[in-house]
Amino acid sequence: GTMSGAEDAKNLVYPWGTKFDPGKANCADFWADAKTGAHLKIRFNAAVRGLMPGDAFDPDGTSPYGVVNMAGNAREWTSSWYMPYKGNGSKQGPYYKKYGKQYKVVRGGAWYSSRDELRVSSRETGGAPSLRADNTAGFRCVRSADPVDRE
């Protein structure tokens, strides 16, 4: 089912909960069936696969923190360097050569991404050959909430 609040966020598989729903994010599954999200496709005159307004899936795809569009639409760079997770001592495999301060972590998937790429645990590399030249991802500006915003 759906999460009951931020205290359950550690159990998220997708930004909105534990089960995949193609109607909650702009992704490959959303576009695979004309009936999925038909009201959104009509509302935003989206006749072809591609980007949609950032708030198109609000409130259905919203996280327990109130953040919209964290999955699908456009992949987003993070401030994290692409490094091995703690406890991963592997010195081989396709990802080993990418570790270090050469690529940023990209998360969230895009309008063409599979449901696996939309999972909150999924990460890819971005910023190649530079953040300026990498046109496959966007970014999200984040700031701490003012006390007034928290009410």
Query: pLDDT tens digits for 46-81?
Result: 878 999 998 899 888 988 888 888 999 999 988 899
What is the overall mean pLDDT for the chain? 85
Q: Give the H/E segment covering residue 105.
A: strand 104-107
Average pLDDT over residues 118-137: 82
Tokens read off for 23: 């109607």
Please state the three-class secondary structure of 44-92 as a single string: CCCCCCCCCCCCCCCCCCCCCCCCCCCCECCEEEEEEECCCCCCCCCCC
Query: pLDDT tens digits for 20-46?
Result: 999 999 999 999 999 999 999 999 988
Q: SS3 of 94, please?
A: coil
Query: pLDDT tens digits for 101-120?
Result: 888 899 999 999 999 999 99
What are residue 76's DSSP bridge partners?
107, 138
Q: SS3 of 125, please?
A: strand
